[in-house]
């Protein structure tokens, strides 16, 4: 069996598993399929697999790499049907991608029901606890789907992996995969990476006990469980101790925490994902970004003395944890408390749609628009619109906003890392002051050069906006340079290869 497997053609030595893959498909009116390659930290990080020289070539004996992901919508399902599951490399930038067509209802329960409505809420501490969560029969049904969805990934990985291969499992969608995969293929080196924060034990224990244990045991099925910051790794270790009675020690050689539970040990790694400076600088200099800068400058306009107004910029998915509504309230408070800024500043809020299958996200998006309108009707004048809100995703526009921002507002309630905080200083034209939540993972690296806020405190955030707007050009440029250098310390390729090496070394 062992010999057979490693000599089989097309088996992979490196495997990555994530819910969202590097490409998504849509079906045109004429039935044709078009592929769109995605961006974001996860996608660019995992794309490094190709840079390792291990990617894309599924033909070499056990030498290739494969990315296993789920079909997310109708177009993806059609692509799986037409391709048989292994996508056309022309659509994926050469990567070998296996997309799983998990039954639609199972997928919806696992993705919307459990991953995004329960595990995401727990780790970002988003529940309004007087009424939620309430783990009822519907939850139990959805949990069974989450188990099946995780099992489908474990089956596919077990099929695709060469003997002794290395598997990197991503995120809260796939917490059960490491344990399930170990049962199927004990020969593999398995890592799990959490891109989210990890909840502290008192909050984590809201989950039903059996589920709380199952999730931890699932991840502990990995040889190495990694996190974006020390704080989130500690949260996980604390939950293992509190919920499973696991013991946590420090490895003297590496300094990493080691969790021992039920006879198995799992190392905890910390890998902060950084911005991809080279890519961003090149992309931000292109023509489409220049065009959008001109448009945005038109929106920002000039003050009564004909000086260009200042720009406070935010760029986010319209995500509950990003705290966009409180950000707007803080901006309103700035205008109320510091009338000298009226007519002299514009808040560009780029908030593009996310997880719109969930009512709470749709409502949140409406609330963002409502509060922006309210600010504009309270303070706006003939020639000045205080908040300019963009609700459609446009990467070139995001980069244009990054380049011209005087102040970047990054105030999440809780965030695994937050790459926007790292990307703005890298491409800023003129220097940009950063207002940063202490609850963002990025705070661990960028805190010393930012205006740090408690994200729940409107007055504190308004004061920080004022200070950031008032910062002189010299110190602002110096801070931006320091932010940019801290932000690019671990670019996606390095981030990914470091994890692979650490997992292989064991
Ligand atoms: C976070 C998660 C990712 C996820 C992304 C976008 O960054 O850690 O796993 O892919 O959000 O969310 P979506 O639900 O659109 O994939």
Q: What is the per-residue burial (b if ≥16 Cβ within 10 Å, else e) of 384-404?
A: bbbbbbbeebeebbbbbbbbb
- Per-residue pLDDT band at 3 (split at 50, 70, 90): very low
- State the Cα–Cα distance between residues 408 and 452, nearest whole angstrom: 12
Residues near 231 by beta carbon (within 8 Å), at least 6 away in sequence: 197, 441, 444
Q: Does residue 114 contact residue 142 with C-beta atoms inside 8 Å? A: yes
In a 3-state reduction of DSSP, which class is residue 223? coil
The vertex-95 CA angle with 90 and 98, nearest 5°, equals 95
pLDDT score, position 56: 39
Residue 339 CB neighbours (<10 A): 10
By the 10 Å C-beta count (0-12 exposed, 13-18 middle, 19+ buried), 187 is classed as: middle
- H-run or E-run covering 15: strand 12-17
**CB distance 124 to ligand 1 below 6 Å:** no
Instruction: Choose which residue among 17, 19, 20 to substitute to test ligand 1 binding: the one with the highest number of ligand atoms within 8 A of its C-beta.
Output: 20
- Bigger pLDDT: 174 or 40? 174
Distance 12 CA to ligand 1 centre (A): 25
What is the position in ligand 1's atom list of the atom closest to the CA of 41?
7
Contact 332, 375 (CB under 8 A): yes
Mean pLDDT on 282-295:
98
CB 263 within 8 A of CB 275: no
Q: What is the largest CA-CA distance in the chain?
A: 79
Q: What is the pLDDT of residues 245-257, one digit of tens each?
A: 999 999 988 889 9
| Residue 231: predicted pLDDT | 98
- pLDDT, averaged across the chain: 93
Instruction: Report the distance separating Cα 210 and Cα 222, nearest Å.
Output: 19
* pLDDT classification of 64: cutoffs 50, 70, 90: confident
Ligand 1: nearest atom to the Cα of 116:
14
Domain boundaries, the chain: 12-273+492-505, 277-487
Mean per-residue pLDDT, 103-120: 98
Ligand 1 pocket member 406 (CB < 6 A): no
Q: Find, among 160, 225, 138, 140, the residue nearest to 190 by Cα.
A: 225
pLDDT digits (tens, 9 = 90+) for 444-503: 999 999 999 999 999 999 999 999 999 999 999 999 999 999 999 999 989 998 999 999
State percent of the chain over pLDDT 90. Answer: 88
Share of the chain above pLDDT 70, in %: 93
Query: Residue 199: helix, strand or coil by DSSP?
Result: coil
pLDDT of residue 16 exceeding 70:
yes
Does residue 355 have its Cβ closer than 6 Å to ligand 1?
A: yes
And the tokens for 340?
């000298």
Ligand 1 atom with the shortest distance to the CA of 18: 9
pLDDT in tens, 423-449: 999 999 999 999 999 999 999 999 999
CA distance 155 to 153: 5
Probe residue for ligand 1, chosen from 44, 175, 195 as the CB with the greatest number of ligand atoms within 8 Å: 195
- 95 pLDDT above the threshold of 70: yes
From 38, 39, 40, 76, the mutation candidate for ligand 1 (largest count of ligand atoms within 8 A of CB) is: 40
Ligand 1 contact, 20 CB (< 6 A): yes
Least Cα distance to 419 among 397, 402, 400, 396 occurs for 402
DSSP one-letter code for 304: T
Q: How confident is the model at residue 48 (pLDDT cuts 50, 70, 90)?
A: low
pLDDT tens, position by position, 386-414: 999 999 999 999 999 999 999 999 999 99
CA 372 and chain centroid, separation:
25
Give the tokens for residue 250.
């420090």
Q: What is the pLDDT of residues 350-369, one digit of tens each?
A: 999 999 999 999 999 999 99
Q: How many CA atoms lie within 13 A of 498 on its CB side?
A: 18
- Give the DSSP letter of residue 309: P
pLDDT at 40: 55
Establish whether domains 12-273+492-505 and 277-487 are of one fold.
yes
Distance CA 196, CA 200 (A): 13
CA nearest ligand 1 atom 9, residue: 171
Atom of ligand 1 nearest to the CA of 196: 8
pTM of the model: 0.95
231 lines ligand 1 (CB under 6 A): no
Positions of E strands within 238-292: 247-250, 257-261, 264-270
Name the class of domain 12-273+492-505: alpha beta
Of 38, 42, 47, the C-alpha closest to 14 is 47
> Does 347 have pLDDT greater than 70?
yes
First-residue to last-residue Cα distance in the chain: 25
Tell me which DSSP letter residue 506 carries: -
Alpha carbons 242 and 142: distance in angstroms, whole number: 26
Angle between helices 137-160 and 177-184 (to 10 degrees): 50
State the Cα–Cα distance between residues 177 and 58, nearest whole angstrom. 23
> Is the CATH code 3.40.50.2000 the one for domain 277-487?
yes
For every residue of 34-83, DSSP letters joined together read EEEE--HHHHHHHHHHHHTT-SS-TTSBTTEEEEEEE--SHHHHHHHHHH
Distance 69 CA to ligand 1 centre (A): 13
Please give the structure tokens belonging to residue 505.
């070394």
Segment 161-184 mean pLDDT: 98
CA distance to 106, 199, 207, 244, 412, per residue, from 140 (Å): 13, 21, 12, 21, 30
User: pLDDT grade, residue 47 (50/70/90)?
Assistant: low
Q: Where is pLDDT greater, at 166 or 62?
A: 166
pLDDT attached to residue 403: 98
**pLDDT of 77:** 97
What is the distance in A from the centroid of ligand 1 to the CA of 163?
Answer: 30
Q: What is the pLDDT of residues 138-155, one digit of tens each?
A: 999 999 999 999 999 999
How far apart CA 434 and CA 431 sit, in angstroms, is: 10
């Amino acid at each position: 069996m062992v010999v057979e497997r490693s000599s089989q053609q097309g088996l992979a030595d490196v495997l990555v598993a994530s819910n969202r893959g590097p490409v998504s498909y849509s079906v045109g009116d004429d039935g044709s399929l078009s592929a769109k390659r995605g961006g974001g930290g996860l996608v660019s990080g995992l794309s490094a697999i190709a840079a390792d020289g291990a990617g894309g070539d599924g033909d070499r004996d056990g030498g290739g790499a494969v990315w296993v992901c789920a079909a997310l919508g109708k177009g993806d399902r059609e692509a799986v049907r037409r391709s048989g599951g292994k996508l056309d490399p022309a659509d994926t930038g050469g990567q070998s991608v296996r997309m799983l067509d998990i039954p639609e209802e199972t997928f919806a329960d696992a993705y919307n029901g459990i991953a995004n409505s329960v595990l995401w809420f727990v780790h970002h501490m988003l529940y309004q606890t007087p009424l939620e969560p309430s783990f009822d029969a519907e939850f139990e049904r959805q949990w069974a789907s989450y188990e099946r969805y995780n099992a489908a990934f474990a089956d596919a990985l077990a099929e695709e992996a060469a003997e002794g291969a290395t598997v990197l499992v991503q995120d809260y969608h796939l917490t059960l995969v490491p344990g399930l995969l170990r049962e199927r293929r004990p020969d593999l080196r398995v890592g799990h990476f959490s891109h989210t924060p990890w909840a502290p034990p008192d909050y984590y224990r809201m989950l039903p006990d059996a589920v709380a244990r199952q999730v931890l045991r699932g991840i502990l099925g990995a040889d190495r469980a990694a996190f974006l910051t020390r704080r989130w790794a500690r949260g996980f270790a604390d939950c293992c101790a509190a919920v499973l009675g696991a013991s946590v020690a420090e490895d003297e050689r590496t300094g990493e925490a080691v969790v021992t539970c039920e006879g198995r040990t799992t190392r905890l790694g910390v890998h902060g994902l950084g911005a991809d400076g080279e890519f961003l600088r090149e992309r931000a200099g292109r023509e489409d970004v220049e065009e959008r800068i001109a448009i945005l400058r038109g929106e920002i306009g000039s003050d009564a003395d004909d000086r260009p107004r200042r720009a406070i910029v935010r760029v986010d998915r319209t995500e509950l944890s990003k705290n966009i509504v409180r950000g707007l309230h803080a901006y309103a408070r700035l205008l109320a408390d510091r009338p000298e800024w009226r007519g002299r500043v514009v808040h560009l809020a780029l908030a593009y749609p996310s997880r719109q299958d969930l009512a709470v996200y749709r409502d949140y998006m409406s609330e963002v628009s409502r509060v922006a309108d309210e600010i504009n009707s309270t303070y706006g004048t003939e020639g000045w619109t205080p908040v300019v809100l963009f609700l459609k995703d446009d990467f070139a526009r995001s980069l244009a906003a990054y380049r011209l921002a005087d102040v970047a507002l990054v105030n999440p309630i809780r965030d695994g890392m937050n790459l926007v905080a790292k990307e703005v200083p890298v491409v800023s034209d003129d220097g940009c002051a950063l207002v940063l939540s202490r609850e963002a993972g990025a705070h661990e690296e960028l805190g010393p050069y930012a205006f740090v806020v408690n994200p729940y405190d409107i007055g504190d955030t308004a004061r920080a906006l004022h200070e950031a707007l008032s910062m002189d050009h010299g110190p602002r440029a110096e801070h931006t340079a320091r932010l940019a250098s801290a932000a690019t310390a671990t670019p996606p390729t390095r981030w990914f290869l470091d994890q692979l090496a650490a997992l292989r070394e064991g």
